[in-house]
Amino acid sequence: MSARIDLEAQYCAHNYHPLPVVLTRGEGVYVWDEDGKKYLDMMSAYSAVSHGHANPRLVKLVQQQVATLNIVSRAFHSDRLGPFLERACELTGLDMALPMNTGAEAVETAIKAARKWAYTVKGVAEDRAEIIACTGNFHGRTIAIVAMSDEAQYRRGFGPFPPGFRLVQYGDIDALETAINANTAAFIVEPIQGEGGIVMPPEGYLKAAAELCRKHNVLLIADEIQTGLGRTGKLLAVEHENVVPDGLILGKALGGGILPVSMFLAKREVMSVFQPGDHGSTFGGNPLGAAVGLEALNILVEEKLAERSAEMGAYLKQKLEAIDSPLVSEVRGKGLFIGIEIDPEKGSARAICEALMERGLLSKETHATVVRLAPPLVISRAEIDWAVTQIQEVLSEMDSMRLAS
């Protein structure tokens, strides 16, 4: 075991269970460990490194901005924030944005906006607003956010939780309609559930949900922290069903794999509920983050990374589906956002990820049964071919060991 791993185990809270590898540098789709071993990164930090590690345009931009102006707080204006938010609104079709840092902060911002909108615009009685979320969701880990989770571990030992959240079955449009009432402020939904295991809703679900929300004067808020910014083959995953939500949450790739940058975007009617003092963040919208975010958006568009994700994702999925292994029960996903479901009676997703790591491919298991593949969007066909070969050989080895035991 590495001395660095031991040191981390001694001083860092044990709130993660990482694979036993210590990474020291990255470039493009590759990372290297402390011994100089090279790995193909098929995780890209849960979609945060969509542009590739140490993207040259972003590195150059950061070097320039770091030497110019970084943090001033929102007590003052900066020359970087306006252009960043303008670009984000233009690309997403929404009117206004509120910049934050982490995805969880942006989700909290969306919750606050939805509640205040319910009271000041919709006319819901004070402290009665409800937000509907889905089973299997993952929107973050703050107390309010885990209040709308049904994952036992996320909740165990952290109560009491704030009220005002209801859960409906993901993908069940009838359940959503039944749950909506006069106090419903918003429906928050992931177009594809990432942490849930790359779970896809039925085709047409998001469009039907948007129509339901419009019918009942409920805000549709899309959490695209993981699925957004090209990951699924469109700039936004909601675009697969031609849906424009009332609110949109972005993060992860918005920081170009360099900084935590997030935002909540919404229609003007929703965002206008915020007045000075209602909400804020010392670091949210800082000049460095805004500069990185704008360049990250420009790279996505100019280098056609969403289109690349669609093409490479379809190729990867086709290659994975051609693997004949009794360990695999399903391959699902869109773009470069793919999950390999492992039959728990025949194999372990963790063991598969550990074996892939030994071969120089980094992925991570989800809920013990899914091998998640979400590489940087700059990955090539040759790199995909190599990755699929490693996956196929590991599955074959695992099956042989299973049959021999």
Segment 89-104 mean pLDDT: 98
- Predicted confidence at residue 367, as pLDDT, reads 86
- Predicted confidence at residue 402, as pLDDT, reads 83
- Predicted confidence at residue 403, as pLDDT, reads 85
**Three-state SS at 29:** coil
Give me the catalytic one of 84, 138, 165, 264: 138
For residue 342, pLDDT beyond 90 = yes
- Predicted confidence at residue 1, as pLDDT, reads 61
- Predicted confidence at residue 356, as pLDDT, reads 98
Q: Is 319 one of the annotated active-site residues of the chain?
A: no
Segment 199-212 mean pLDDT: 98
For residue 12, pLDDT beyond 80 = yes
Other Cβ atoms within 10 Å of 268 Cβ, number: 9
Structure tokens at 246: 């009332």
- Predicted confidence at residue 394, as pLDDT, reads 97
Question: Phi-psi bin for 39: left (phi > 0), alpha (psi -120 to 50), beta?
Answer: beta
| Domain boundary assignment for the chain | 3-54+305-404, 56-302
**252: which DSSP letter?**
G
Summarize pLDDT for 242-299 with one digit per residue, the tens. 999 999 999 999 999 999 999 999 999 999 999 999 999 999 999 999 999 999 999 9
For residue 241, pLDDT beyond 90 = yes
> What CATH code is assigned to 3-54+305-404?
3.90.1150.10
* Percent of the chain with pLDDT strictly greater than 70: 100
Q: Is 60 one of the annotated active-site residues of the chain?
A: no
- Which residues are CB-contacts of 208 (< 8 A; sequence separation ≥ 6)? 173
Question: Phi-psi bin for 149: left (phi > 0), alpha (psi -120 to 50), beta?
Answer: beta
Maximal CA-CA distance, the chain: 67
| The listed CATH number (3.40.1020.10, 3.40.640.10, 3.40.440.10, 2.40.50.100) that belongs to domain 56-302 | 3.40.640.10
Give me the catalytic one of 116, 234, 252, 267: 252
d(Cα 37, Cα 29) in Å, to the nearest integer?
14
Structure tokens at 207: 């469009």
- Predicted confidence at residue 122, as pLDDT, reads 98
For residue 66, pLDDT beyond 70 = yes
Average pLDDT, the chain: 97
For residue 37, pLDDT beyond 80 = yes
Summarize pLDDT for 301-338 with one digit per residue, the tens. 999 999 999 999 999 999 999 999 999 999 999 999 99
- Predicted confidence at residue 120, as pLDDT, reads 98
Contact 344, 360 (CB under 8 A): no
Q: Is 35 one of the annotated active-site residues of the chain?
A: no
Summarize pLDDT for 358-405 with one digit per residue, the tens. 999 999 999 889 999 999 999 999 999 999 999 999 999 999 888 887
